[in-house]
A = this chain, B = another copy of it.
Amino acid sequence: MITIKEIAERANVSRTTVSRVINNSGYVSDEAKKRVLKVIEETGYIPSEHAKSLRTKKTKVIGVILPKISTETSSRLVKGLDEVFAKEGYQILLTNTNLELEKEIEYLKLLKSRHVDGIILSATIINEPLLEAIRQLNIPFVIVGQYMPGLPNVLFDDYQSSKDLVYFMIKKGYKHIAFIGVDEKDRSVGYLRKNGYLDAMKENNLPIEKGWVQKGTFDVDSGYQCMKQIMDFSEKTPVAVFAVTDRLAIGAMQYIKETGLSIPDDIAVAGMGASELSRFISPALTTIDFFIEEAGREAARLVLEQVNGGISHEVIRTIKHRLIERSSI
């Protein structure tokens, strides 16, 4: 590795002067500047960001903690983040907890040890130790997707969007609506979306029959199984089913199709997330589109605000959503 010292020697100036040329700061004669630039050019010298940031305390790197790499949500989120960060010259240091909760704290520390300028956490399940770890961190921080008190949050309106969708189904004439959810420990997807459904039904005085509410996991197969449960064990067969993710909805559709029933004539289906699949599956799935890229951009902006001197206090940015009506209803 060629260093600033070598450049200085070759250009017959001091390291100070080389530094000034690189950073375009202070006084440097055209004469000296030209010599330095020439040597840099010739040698292909690239300054060490490490040495630099050791002094300046800035790395232009933002740490991102994802619960799962390789999901459409993560990938859209990262896209939004990158749009803003790239423009400002920041890079993303990626970590992936693979849904192991202890890793979140581990990675927080690791990112701190790497002196990232800020951290963005896309969380699933929050707990007290995690909150505590974040508070001690003292680094610009933003959480996406789950509410954490006292911190900058970028949230989706899980409750309202879910409610919107159920209201929409009711307006379309469906009254017997079954539900496929996930574990309520996931406050956003599990708890809030379920409550949106429950409240929408209640507010419309619609009963929820035995067997209509099922709990699955985040994959297509689980949607299939849940739908089977609904069909096998419901006292009244529902005329519609609302699943809290598109994948669950698609699994449900598979089961419905297999039993020879028609969507939406026999049973209507709705999902959430506006995944690519939802567009191309047939019939195309009615769903809620959360603007995930926008959430990424917003999170990036919030973290940069803090990096540039803003202090960190509770902020809640709720990202818009929209209902996409398609032929599954």
Which chain A residues have a beta carbon within 8 Å of chain B's beta carbons? Answer: 44, 46-51, 53-54, 59, 61, 69-71, 74-76, 78-79, 82, 86, 91-96, 109-110, 112-115, 136, 220, 250, 276-277, 280-282
**Complex Cα spacing A61 to B48, Å:** 15
**CB closest residue in chain B, given A53:** B50
Asked if residues A69 and B79 are in contact (CB atoms below 8 Å), the reply is yes
CA distance A281 to B70 in the complex (A): 20
Query: In the bound complex, do residue B113 and residue A48 qualify as a contact, i.e. CB atoms below 8 Å apart?
Result: yes
A48 to B51, CA, bound (A): 12
- CB–CB A48/B96 < 8 A: no
Point out the residues of chain B lying under 8 angstroms from A61, CB to CB: 93, 114
Residue contact B54 to A50, C-beta cutoff 8 Å: yes
Decide: B48 and A115 in contact? CB cutoff 8 A: yes
Beta-carbon contact of A82 and B54 below 8 Å: no
Evaluate contact between A76 and B82: CB separation under 8 angstroms.
Answer: no
| Chain B residues with CB under 8 A of A92 | 93-95
Is A69 touching B47 in the complex (CB atoms < 8 A)?
no
Say yes or no: A82 contacts B96, CB within 8 Å: yes
Q: Given known contacts A54-B54, A70-B79, is B96 in contact with A93 (CB within 8 Å)? A: no
Once A48-B113, A280-B277 are accepted as A-B contacts, the answer to whether A78 and B94 lie under 8 Å apart by CB is: yes
B residues within 8 A CB of A281? Answer: 280-282
Residue on B nearest A115 in the bound complex, by CB: B50
Distance of A91 Cα from B47 Cα, bound (Å): 22
* Contact in complex: B53, A113 (CB < 8 Å): no
Most buried by B among A50, A79, A136, A277: A50
A75 to B74, CA, bound (A): 9
Residue contacts A-B, CB under 8 angstroms, 16 given: A44-B136, A46-B109, A48-B113, A50-B53, A50-B54, A50-B114, A50-B115, A70-B75, A70-B79, A71-B75, A74-B75, A75-B75, A78-B94, A92-B93, A276-B277, A277-B280
* Those 6 A-B pairs whose CB atoms lie nearest each other, nearest first: A70-B79, A70-B75, A92-B94, A75-B75, A49-B113, A46-B113
Q: How far is the CA of A48 from the CA of B79 in the complex (A)?
A: 29
Chain B nearest Cβ from A42, distance in angstroms:
13
On chain B, the residues within 8 Å of A112 by CB distance are 46
The closest CB in chain B to the CB of A1 belongs to B57
Besides A69-B79, A93-B94, A250-B280, 5 other CB < 8 A contacts? A46-B109, A48-B113, A48-B115, A50-B50, A50-B59
